[in-house]
Structures are given as C-alpha cells and as structure tokens.
Amino acid sequence: MCGISGWIDWREDLRTQADIIEKMSGTLAHRGPDAQNIWLSPCAALGHCRLVVVDPEGGGQPMSRNRGENRYIISYNGELYNTLELRQDLEARGYTFLTRNSDTEALLLAYMEWGPACLERWNLCLCYLG
C-alpha cells in the first residue's frame, strides 16, 4: 500500500517547501518502503512513498507528462485492471509510453486524452484507508 501526502496553497510558492513535504512523506515510509519521491509547483506539493507492485523501474510517482503547454501530474494508490487495453487504445491514438507496463502512466495518459470522461474507461481498484 503506497502513501500519498501533499497540499494545495494558492497564496504561497510551495517550491520552497521541499523539506516539509519530504518530512510528511517520511512519516508514510512504512506504507511505501520501496521508493520516496516528491513533486513541487508554485501551488501544489505532492509526496509519494511507493510499494512496488508493477513496473519497478518505470512506475515512479508522482509521475508527470507534458502535452503542449500543459503539464499533468499523478500520484495514486490502486490497481488498474485494464492497463493493456488502455495502452493499446492510447497507442493507436498516437501516444508513446515511456514505461514498460506502468498502470500509473496509462491512467495519466487516459486523463490527458479524455479528461474526466476517462473514468468511464477505467477498470480499477482505488485503495484508501482513512
């Protein structure tokens, strides 16, 4: 089970908060002992502690991709059951995958292609423990 941390702040530049998001993520290391990574932007800070299940080399998170002038970021915990189908559909639409078989990348590219309507194409289990 991975651990995800972060926050949004529209007033403060969160790129200066690396130490805080790293400490937050560190408290979740027991949930994702295989890798820890952060992503910062002016208004968002994300931390991800990863428990590797799929694609150890390529599935690191938070994951980002650019499309035109837009940048898309994902950090999630779950399992996508129709990764292969989505990959094939997205490749037919001209997308190039940078990972071998990362379900995270398939989710991210699906959102980039279909926006919120991508939910209708996903067969997944999202994990949440409150």
Q: Looking at the structure, tell me whether residues 28 and 71 fall in a common domain.
A: no
Q: What mean pLDDT do residues 71-93 have? A: 94
Q: Is the dihedral of CA 112, 79, 119, 3 positive or negative?
A: negative
pLDDT, the chain, mean: 92
Q: Looking at the structure, tell me whether residues 68 and 129 fall in a common domain.
A: yes
Q: Looking at the structure, tell me whether residues 65 and 47 fall in a common domain.
A: no
Q: Looking at the structure, tell me whether residues 46 and 109 fall in a common domain.
A: no
Q: Looking at the structure, tell me whether residues 120 and 67 fall in a common domain.
A: yes
> Could you report the per-residue pLDDT of 3-54, keeping only the tens digit for each?
999 999 999 999 999 999 999 999 999 888 888 999 999 999 999 999 888 8
d(CA 122, CA 86): 8
The pLDDT, as a whole number, for residue 88 is 97
21: domain range?
A: 1-51
Q: Looking at the structure, tell me whether residues 74 and 92 fall in a common domain.
A: yes
Whether 127 sits among the annotated catalytic residues: the reply is no
Residue 4 has φ and ψ, to the nearest 5°, of: -125, 135
Residue 94 confidence (pLDDT) above 60: yes
Which stretches of the chain are assigned E, i.e. beta strand?
3-8, 35-40, 44-50, 63-67, 70-74, 78-80, 124-126
Residue 129 confidence (pLDDT) above 80: no
Closest listed residue to residue 82, CA positions, set 122, 126, 125: 122
Q: Looking at the structure, tell me whether residues 45 and 102 fall in a common domain.
A: no
Q: Looking at the structure, tell me whether residues 32 and 84 fall in a common domain.
A: no
Closest listed residue to residue 125, CA positions, set 93, 88, 81: 81
pLDDT band at 125 (very low <50, low <70, confident <90, very high): confident
Model-wide pTM > 0.85: yes
The pLDDT, as a whole number, for residue 130 is 52
Would you tell me how many other CB atoms lie within 10 Å of the CB of residue 55?
Answer: 16
> Could you report the per-residue pLDDT of 19-30, keeping only the tens digit for each?
999 999 999 998
Closest listed residue to residue 40, CA positions, set 15, 5, 19, 3: 15
Q: Looking at the structure, tell me whether residues 81 and 129 fall in a common domain.
A: yes
Comparison of pLDDT for 113 and 56, the residue scoring more: 113
What is the tally of structural domains in the chain? 2
The pLDDT, as a whole number, for residue 127 is 61
